[in-house]
Structure 1
Amino acid sequence: MEEEYIQNLKNYLVEFDKLPIAKKKITALLEADNCYKKGKIPIKSLPNLEFTETEILEHLTEFPNIMELESHLLDFREYIIEEYGIWHIYSQEWLQDLKAFLANEQTLMIMAGNAVLGKFLKNIICTDNLDWRHQDNERPNPWTDVEQLDALEAVKKYLNNVSNIIIEWCPDSTDTDIKVLHYLRQKKWKGNLIVLGEKQGATNSKAFWKEAHLERPVNLNQHHKPFDFIKDHVYLAK
């Protein structure tokens, strides 16, 4: 998929060279892909990849493929998942906000996937049972060390040693998140449970979203912008 998807983006870049609103979106995706190839993170958040109805109507005559382009742009997340095993797409700007919030305190990341986020954080323990390797991306290729451990078992093992727990893009097909929440409540844990995902949408269980007491802190969301049809945000959960 890689060569075809990226080549199509490059073709669209030529086709839409005279339409700045399109060129900006295409260029941002090519730059992001280039960063991932080098094991880096894009500097800025991706722009919104959709066009407004007004933009489409205004430019449809001169650029008849504008809706086809939008559809291709919106395939970017699926491309990143298949090519790199990355579900959560974020920027260096947001990463700095997260680092400031964590303040170098010991942190546990459960269901870490390829631990792309974990690579850039200090005092982090990344864990994952790797059962996702038979799904969209079959080649786990962690960016940093990942301890193969079930999420709840990881919480039980490290709870007393960490000030933060991160759940990042938890699958919506598991109830592990609600089990973790119940365990933390049972233990009266006082740390920060940071959840990155789409409320009642693409990530986490319905039970979790229904039961968790959620706060959406401004300092963790100011540089975390949804860019496609998945409206993910950063939450503190209790």
Structure 2
Amino acid sequence: MFSQKPTYRRWVWISGGLAIVFHGLWVSQHMLLGNGQDLSIINVAVLLCLLLSLSVTMGCSHFQMWIMLPVVYIASVITLLLSAFISNPYILHLGIYPQVMVHIGFALVAFTVMMIAALFALQLGYLDHMLKSHRPHAINVAMPPLIKIENQLIGLIKIGMVLLTISLATGFIFLNHIFDNGQVHKAILAVIAWFVYLFLLTGHYRWGWRGRTVGMLTLLGAVLLILSYFGSRLFSSSY
């Protein structure tokens, strides 16, 4: 996968592309039902892994994201395997509530962008650790330089912030039950994550934060977003 040879890269593209096609077919068959859309927690996890796999596969060559492919592919395999053993349907009728579909759409895309940013943060941390451990030989030549990864990370967070802001705004406007007992912690965690990312960008541009600080705050924001959705769904029966 990390080889510079075009033949190996071509096989990665072919195998990854086929896997994504079948992954997409699974999502269409198990989420888009005749009586509505099944947005159970495991189905949404599978969908998010599909979005991550598709995004990273499409960008791996241009942005040198090859090291991220095993992570997103393994996550996809795990969620698909779990879906075979976990069945807890949660049927919605999004066609009746298009405004909710808008909110969910922005939320999914924002989550995907911020998870890719988290992968960049992990890659940044790995390279930084290798360099500080005086083991530059452990860094594959296919991996981009630190400054390029950091610039891409900041760019992703800025895009993610716009999407996350729209997601939160549409949630407050369109979801009347957002502060219900089963939803309030979801909203609070998402808002805290938004402030963490804002704090990160402010620190980067105003105080020159770089490297480990940027990476740790990126991962903290990602964890908060994961807890915001999946944590709430574990203890709540409603979206």
TM-score (norm 2): 0.29
Structure in which a larger fraction of residues adopt helix: 2
Kindly indicate which of the two structures has a greater share of residues assigned to strand. 1
